[in-house]
Amino acid sequence: MTLDLHDNKLAVIYCRVSSKSQTGLGSQEHRCRQYAEAKDYKVVGTFFDDVTGGGDFIKRKGMVDLLAFLDKHIETNFIVIFDDLKRYARDVEFHLKLRRLMAERGAVRECLNYNFEDTPEGKFNEIINAAVGELDRQQTARQNKQKSIARLEQGYAVFNSVPIGYKYVKVKGGNSEVVRKEPLASIVQEAMEGFATGRFASQVEVKRFLESQPEFPKHFADGTIRQQKVVDMLQQHMYAGYIDAPKWGVSLRDAKHEGLVSKATFEVIKQRLAGTRYAPARTDQHEDFPLRGAVACGCCEKPLRSGWSKGRNRKHAYYLCHTKSCDMYGKSIRRADIEGRFEELLASLQPNESLFKVAIAMFHDYWNQMQEKMIARTQTAKQEIKKTEEQIEQLISRTMEAGNARVIAAYEKRIDELERKKLVLAENAAKMAQPRANLNEMIEPSLVFLANPHKIWASGRFELKRMVLKLTFSEPLLYCRETGYRTPKTTLPFKVLSDFCTSKCRMVPPVGIEPTLPEGTGF
């Protein structure tokens, strides 16, 4: 833009709102332009900001651009128009600094609802008005903080944003509450429960699972997410139905929103994160070789490797031992052989119908026993809650009497641990007191799996195949090139069914318990 440097009626407009969620920049500009038109000013630029509260104006991009514009045209004395004095600066310190910088650039400040006067009285009144604006801002901030703390203490979230899987909804009274946001809530729930139960052996496997979900937001164009995202998710208190705000002195407590996982599950996740560091999941797992990592050499018991070899007309898939000291080193095994024999092995684990009926009957007997134990456990949990509350009260009394800062900090840490324990106990007691679901509905997925794991394997889905391997076999399978698979070590359900199947159930013979009577003998 070419400016007439001799025109003393050139003006720029500055507009600001407190946050991006607010509207009003358009209306501010409209009023400022009406003001300029009435004054016969020529508006040559408009600068906008949406920065919250007061603070250093240099952090406001719009104000920085405005000062840079004035520097670029330093020969011209521009008129800078504001809609309201509060839009100019809401801190006395920065108000005065900004007034000085404007004066150094020859800018003339004009406000729609305030007259700037270059007199001692005018400057004094300007400072008073700026101080009133700062006081108003600080009082509003204090009031909002007090309201937020009160809401937090009642168990409601007040943060600007919520973790993935949640969203805010307006409720009666004008407040917002946190609710599940599907399908993300279910994805996060599956990831966390999978890590707690061992379905995902490491955080890397959790990461891979999240990346496989199209709905889950990604960080990079290649569809991957940052590992830190997994760490943050597994440590997020809100997912367990907790709420806290340490910076405001609000300790961890039970929240009003629904947790995506139980508090007991969250404690298991914490223990896993703090415990043994699991080796990262294999990054070279591929659908071409579902048994990779699950089958070991029958000679050296080291995991078999897999790959492709290029033949004359096509590629060939194979597994092989890569241990140099092993007799089977470098001897390839056709993929069709090793995977074909695996399917035969898996099919052999299918129990017969009569045995399966026995297993279902056992489930029902065990269910009835657990119902009786649940009643006793509920009473025990209530007693434990009462005991924990007494311990907390004792520690609070000791904290008030203590004078050493380190002792107080130790007491506070212990109180926090007991509060967390009490919440877990209360959750468990509430669950145990709820009416039990129908047993057949609860065990149906497990029975489907136990009845025919080969059918699930044959579905062809890579993730289901990996799940079958984890749920069926407790240790890697040993494979001999000549004889095939050795006797596998299965997980407990299949082991129990196998023991029933192989046990010798016979009638008690007539001789052995009591001596038989001679022929013809009677009473």
In the DSSP assignment, the letter for residue 114 is B
Q: pTM of whole model > 0.75?
A: no
Token couple for 353: 């119908």
152 has a pLDDT exceeding 60: yes
Tell me what pLDDT residue 346 has.
87
Pairing, β 295-297 against β 305-310: unpaired
413 has a pLDDT exceeding 60: yes
Torsion of CA 173, 175, 180, 181, to 10 degrees: 110
- Are residues 172 and 69 both part of a single domain? no
Tell me what pLDDT residue 519 has.
47
- Tell me the residue range of the domain where 253 lies: 166-274
User: For 417-449, what is each residue's pLDDT tens digit?
Assistant: 888 788 877 777 776 666 555 666 666 667 777
Identify the residue with better confidence: 2 or 231.
Answer: 231
- Are residues 44 and 119 both part of a single domain? yes
Structural domain contains residue 402: yes
Q: How many domains does the chain have?
A: 4
Tell me what pLDDT residue 514 has.
44
**C-alpha 398, offset from chain centre:** 36
Phi, psi (deg, nearest 5) at residue 237? -60, -35
CA–CA dist 421, 240 (Å, integer): 13
Token couple for 79: 């008129």
- The full DSSP string for 6-18 is T-TTEEEEEEE-S
Tell me what pLDDT residue 234 has.
93
Give the CATH number, domain containing residue 43: 3.40.50.1390
One-letter identity of residue 407: V
Q: Which of 115-129, 152-166, 270-284, 365-379 ranks highest by mean pLDDT? A: 152-166
Q: Which residues pair with 80 in a beta bridge?
A: 12, 109
Tell me which residue of 300, 345, 340 sits closest to 323, measured CA to CA.
300
- The full DSSP string for 445-481 is HHHHHHH-HHHHHTT--HHHHHHHHHHHBSSPEEEET
Tell me which residue of 250, 252, 248, 274 sits closest to 422, measured CA to CA.
252
CA–CA dist 240, 196 (Å, integer): 13
- Are residues 116 and 205 both part of a single domain? no
Tell me which residue of 350, 162, 331, 354 sits closest to 260, measured CA to CA.
162
Structural domain contains residue 42: yes
Mean pLDDT, rounded, for 126-140: 78
510 has a pLDDT exceeding 50: no
- Are residues 116 and 16 both part of a single domain? yes
Tell me what pLDDT residue 130 has.
74
Give the CATH number, domain containing residue 270: 3.90.1750.20
Structural domain contains residue 206: yes
Contacts of 70 (CB under 8 A, 6+ apart): 12, 78, 102, 105, 106, 107
* Sequence-ordered strand ranges (E) for 257-367: 295-297, 305-310, 315-320, 332-334
- Are residues 344 and 205 both part of a single domain? no
Token couple for 185: 């809530």
